[in-house]
Structure 1
Amino acid sequence: MSHGLYLYGIFPSPGPKDLGLEGLDKQPVQAQVVDEFVFLYSEAQQERYLASRRNLLGHERVLEQAMEQGYQTLLPLQFGLIIQDWERVQQQLLVPKGEVLKQLLHKLEGRREVSVKVVWDAARELEALMQENAILRDQRDQLEGKSLSMDEVVRIGQAIERAMNDRKQAIIETFRQRLNGRALETVENDSLMEGMIYNAAYLIPWEQEAEFCEQVEVLDQAFENRLRIRYNSFTAPFNFAQLR
């Protein structure tokens, strides 16, 4: 039983046809032309889709497979969007937001999103900081086996915290200086896990991905084994397709 139409993304006309893709709940992915836009959709088998890892990846996979087949200019829609009929899309989305959608598609033409996530080992970084900074090391050593006042404990703790934050910011600034100038736009997102100190998405010209990847490798080598750098070279441009 269909519960409406599940939407994945929007392409400029003429858009994709007969992609042969499988969407959520193993439903065939279809294309629907509405005005100057082409919507990728499948029949919704649920009234509401839970944002599980499986469903989220299924949503993203449809978009990425369409891009891999050559339909690279795309506005990905947020996960979980179900509509009842195309007339409602016309009234609720295209009439009020049609011009904005055209502008976003124009902005994304010939461009792609890549992302960099940087993870450090805080314990190792703290130990390295202590090796490099004799004053902080002496202060930390005072915390062990001595009876200090609460004020002294707090002061030493804050000094170490500030130094660690400075260390983190120095790494982040290095990534910004190396990568931001090579991107048309950059979006910095929240960290997704403990130890992640930087999470950024970049909008770059499609053909310049290899060059951008090279710069990420240069950074990886510069920091040797200090950091784990996760580079995603191919994803739908969620960070640069925000409807205002």
Structure 2
Amino acid sequence: MKVLVPVKRVLDYNVKARVKPDQSGVDLSNVKMSMNPFDEIAVEEAVRLQEAGTATETIVVSIGPAKAQETIRTGLAMGMDRGVHVQTDEDLEPLAIAKILKAVAEAEGADLIVMGKQAIDNDYGATGGMLAALLGWPIGSAANSIALDGGALSVVKEVDGGLQTVKLQMPALVTADLRLNEPRYASLPNIMKAKRKPIDAKTPADFGVDTTPRLKTLKVTEPAAREAGIKVEDAAALVDKLKNEAGVI
């Protein structure tokens, strides 16, 4: 079974985002970038499938600028076999990304795609569903655990009523939630080995994908600063303010 894992290079979650002075987007100059946390979980799951003897080959793919190769190398250091880099400096929308990933999956003959359920930079979470629809594959979204059951893939996810288990016929696509696993840290020897692992270079044009944007960003602004809280002397004062000032009771 061949497993494909798409990953994205995003602003590190420990870094405070700064908006550009012209409000055209988030300022990414001279800041730490890393792999999207949900994608790290997807990579870990693919490596575990390979360690269990279920997966025969694992491929990590990233769509982005030249520096996205660093993110691919991180996946390779975690244990993935090889990488595919689709280089573009455009900020692609989910549909364009899904079309490119469809072409990559078909070219690689992937049997399973495991990907993060969303990206933490733009908070898009539509790529997985779009990709599954384009491929005509079943999807298990926001997975807490996955397991192969004969020729089917069993996926457990959280729902309002508790846990839901679905079985998907292969080939299939799974999007990873935070509880799926705990990603490993890449060891120094594996980081050195990752530098020698192959990365195939592609462009969107190689797959004949139209990346023309369908959305236009008008402006990006920082969230409003939170107002300072106040202290009250007793419960009666609290109830009075909630009732007469906040109007919530």
| Shared fold per TM-score greater than 0.5 | no
Name the TM-score, length of structure 1 as normaliser: 0.24
Q: Could you say which structure has the higher helix fraction?
A: 1
Structure (1 or 2) with the larger CA radius of gyration: 1
Name the TM-score, length of structure 2 as normaliser: 0.24
